Amino acid sequence: GQLGTDYYYIDVDLVTGDDQKDLIEEIKKFNPACSFPTMVINERDTIIGFDEDKIREKFE
């Protein structure tokens, strides 16, 4: 990525059936409102919504 870190993303709208249900339950662990985008960093930190400053701060 632009900040020199590896990442992957999942477009939840494109996931179907039980896989989508499981994914939403996983997201709710980090973001109970299940709003998007939700960025989970190292299974520990979460950035909810697009906040470029917070994203850059996490990867500096």
**pLDDT tens-digit readout, 7-59:** 899 999 999 999 999 999 999 999 999 999 999 999 999 999 999 999 999 88
Query: Could you tell me the domains of the chain?
Result: 12-58 (3.40.30.10)
47 CB contacts (<8 Å, ≥6 apart)? 38, 39, 41, 54, 55, 58
pTM comes to 0.81
